[in-house]
């Protein structure tokens, strides 16, 4: 998995991804809302200004069941 710059593309689905907030150098979980064309984080969409999110990365697949 590699980080994707928001300048290079956005997720195609509203899947949960890792968000990199460059301003804080921190990661959060969130998704890109196709309906509202904005990032939504698990701490709330209004908590992180949109332009502070610089990169995203798909989450890895969960482990196989035993």
What are the structure tokens assigned to 28, written together?
A: 């959060």
Question: SS3 of 50, please?
Answer: helix
Largest CA distance in the chain: 42
pTM: 0.85
Give the model confidence (pLDDT) of 18-57 as tens digits.
999 998 899 999 999 999 999 998 886 667 889 999 999 9
Please check whether residue 32 is in contact with residue 56, taking contact to mean a CB–CB distance below 8 angstroms: yes
pLDDT at 48: 84
pLDDT for the residue numbered 23:
86
């Amino acid at each position: 998995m590699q980080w994707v710059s928001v300048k290079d593309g956005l997720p195609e689905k509203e899947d949960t991804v890792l968000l990199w907030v460059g301003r804080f150098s921190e990661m959060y979980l969130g998704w890109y809302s196709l309906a509202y064309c904005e990032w939504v984080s698990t701490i709330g969409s209004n908590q992180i200004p949109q332009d502070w999110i610089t990169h995203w990365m798909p989450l890895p697949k969960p482990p196989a069941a035993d």
